[in-house]
Every structure is written in C-alpha cells, then in structure tokens.
Structure 1
C-alpha cells in the first residue's frame, strides 16, 4: 500500500468541502463556511466572534462580516457582550437552529451512504475518525508530538 495519507487526506477533505458547498447552496441557499459557523455557534458553543474565528481558523474581521450576513438573514443573533468591550455574543435564532438541524440530518445520511457505497463499514470509519480527532485534541492540549 502506497503511503500517501497526508496527500489523500487533503484531497478527500477538499473534495468533501466542495461537494458540501455545492449541496448546501443548491438545497438550502447557504454556503458550507456559513453552515460551519452556524454549527459551531449552535452545537459547539462558539459564543463570541473571537471564539468563532479561532474555531474556523479565520480572522476576526472575516467572522464579523460573516456574522453580520447571517444576522441579516435571520439565522444568527449578535449582541454586545454584557461584560463590555468590543466583543459580540453569538447565538442561533430559531430559524438558524432549524437550518442546522435539517442540514445535519441530511448530510449525515448522504455521508453514510457514500461511505457504505465505498465498501468501508460506516461504524468503523466513524469510530476511527473520532479516535483520530481525539488524539489530535490531546496532542494539541498537551503540546506533545
């Protein structure tokens, strides 16, 4: 077996991101990056623009522009932080919660079908992916290599 995991992971991730973007734009009129932002706010607790920028790996000005658009579309509520300063608190609106929920279910079903079609057992693939992510999280927290 050829050892090209780093390249293959990059290609797979890029292709999945592009496919996700096409599907979301066509079916839900939202880009994949905006859907990820909504998911991070709703499911993973990125409750400030700074935290969201860190999670997405983008700049705070970029997140500020994105959150303004999502708020204008009625998907995200952006409020000044009660602690003062320039921070903004983020939360999903009911419309945003509904979008995230419906997209997640549809995406999971499509991904499960794709994985199954490839001949890879879905449960094993999901387990190994979670295991890899947990290992990366641990390595990053501990600062080990």
Structure 2
C-alpha cells in the first residue's frame, strides 16, 4: 500500500476549502477565509488581531485589512485595546454571530452528507479527526519546549 496520506490530506483540505469558498460566496456573499476569521473570533471570544493572525497563519497587516472589511460590513466590532498600544480587540456583532451560526449549521449538514456518501461513519470520522488534532497539538507543544 502506498503511503500518500500527507498528499491526500493536502488535496482533500484544499478541495474542501475551495468548495466552501464557492458555497459561501454564492449563498452568503462572504469568502471562506473571512468566515473562518469570524468563526475564530467567535470561538476565541474578544480576541486581538495578532491572535487571529496566528490562528489563520497570515500576517497582521493581512488580518488588519480583513477585519476592516468585516467591520465595514457590520459583522465584526474592532475596538482599541483597553490596555493601550496599537492592539485592536475583536468581537462579533449580532449580525456576525447570526452569519456564523447560520453557515455552521448548513456546513455541518453538508459535510455529514458528504461523509455518509463516502461510506465512512460520520461519528467515527469525527472522533478520528479530533484525535489527530489533539495529537498534533501535543506534538507541536513538545517541539516548542
């Protein structure tokens, strides 16, 4: 058996990302990268642009531009950090929370259907994915010490 898991995971992730982007642009007029930013702000709570940049794997100037657009669209609230400095605190507006909740419901249903269509049990796939993510986090923490 050929060992191509690293390549297959890359291809799967890239194709899922592109499909998600097409769906979101068509149905919700938002890109997948902007939706991910909104989702991360919602999951992280009131975060900073630096934290968001780290989670997204992009530069702070890129996040600054993205957050400005999301704020202009009424999806994100960007405020100066109460501790001062150049930091900006991020939080979802009610409109942003509604968008994230709506998209997440629809995406989860679509992903469940895709997984079911593949013949892989959804719950089993979800559990294995969670285990892989946990192992990766432990591995990354061990490398940084």
Separation (CA, whole Å) in 1 of partners of 2:112 and 2:59: 32
Q: TM-score, normalised by structure 1?
A: 0.97
Work out whether residues 70 and 76 of structure 1, in 8 Å CA contact, stay in contact via their aligned partners in 2: yes
Match of 2:59 in 1: 59
Match of 1:100 in 2: 100
* Alignment coverage as a number of residue pairs: 144
Match of 1:124 in 2: 124
Match of 1:69 in 2: 69
**Deviations, residues 79-119 of structure 1 (Å, cap 9, x unaligned):** 00000000000000000000000000100000000000000
Separation (CA, whole Å) in 1 of partners of 2:44 and 2:102: 17
RMSD: 1.0
Separation (CA, whole Å) in 2 of partners of 1:111 and 1:34: 19
**Deviations, residues 17-71 of structure 1 (Å, cap 9, x unaligned):** 0000000000000000000000000013360000000000000000000000000
Q: Are 1:27 and 2:27 an aligned pair?
A: yes
Unaligned runs of 5+ in 1: none
Q: TM-score, normalised by structure 2?
A: 0.97
1:142, CA displacement in angstroms?
1.9
